Amino acid sequence: MTTLDSLKQGDSARVVDVAGDDGIAMRLMEMGVTEGELVTVLGFAPLGDPMELRIRGYHLSLRASEARRVQIDPV
């Protein structure tokens, strides 16, 4: 299964699932990273991590370790 951290700048994908039921998973879902949502990678911080995404019309930043929780379907 592909995860969000494998995307490159400019790639888009649909969220399939968020793994886990801890604070990080819940935070991701609260911020709108839920099944079926479209995410676009806008870029990465100069040191390669974290990444900046567009989801639900706003910009969201998350670390690669957190993006690894998000299973996606590339589009």
Partner 1 sequence: MSTLQKKSAHPPVAGPLKVAMIGNPNTGKSTLFNALAGMHSRVGNFPGCTVEKKIGRVRWEGRRVELIDLPGTYSLSPRSLDELVSVEVLLGRQKEIGAIDGVVCIVDASNLERNLYLVSQVFDLGLPTVVVLNMADVAAARGNQINEQKLSEKLGVPVIKTEAHRRRGLDAVREAILHVSDLPPAERPKLYPAEFYAAVERVQAELAGWNGQPMPNYLVERMVMDVGGEIEMELVARHPQKLAPLLKQVRQELREGDCRIPGVEARVRYAWAREMLDGAIERPAETVATISDKIDRLLTSRFVGLLMFAAIMFVVFMSIFAWAEPLMGYFEGAQEWAAGLVTANMAPGALRSLIVDGVIAGVGGVLVFLPQIALLFLFIAILEDCGYMARAAFLMDKLMSRVGLSGKSFVPLMSSFACAIPGVMATRVIENRRDRMVTILVAPLMSCSARLPVYILMIALFLPQEAVWKKGGVMFAMYSLGVIVAIGVAWLLRKTLFKGETPPFVMELPSYKLPSVRMVAHRVYDRSKAFVTRAGTLIFATTIVVWAALYFPGDHTEEHALQAKIESIEADIDEPLTAAEKQLGQLVTRRDGYQILLAKDVRDDKKAAVHKALEKEFKEAVPTDEAALAEDVAELDVAIAVVEAEIASLQARLEPLHEQKNAVSARLIESSLLGRLGHTIEPAVRPLGWDWKIGVGAIASFPAREVIIATLGTIYSLGGDVDEEDESLRATMAAATWPDGRPVYTIPVLFSVMVFFALCAQCAATLMVIKRETNSWRWPAFTFVYMTALAYIAALLTYQIGSMIV
Q: Which residues bind partner 1 (CB under 8 A)?
A: 18, 21-32, 34-35, 42-43, 45-50, 52, 54, 56-63, 65-66
Tell me how far, at minimum, the Cβ of 2 lies from partner 1, in Å: 19
> Closest CB to partner 1 among 6 and 26?
26
Nearer to partner 1, 35 or 73 (CB): 35
Q: Cβ closer to partner 1: 3 or 25? A: 25
The 3 state secondary structure assigned to the chain is CCEHHHCCCCCEEEEEEECCCCHHHHHHHHCCCCCCCEEEEEEECCCCCCEEEEECCEEEEECHHHHCCEEEEEC
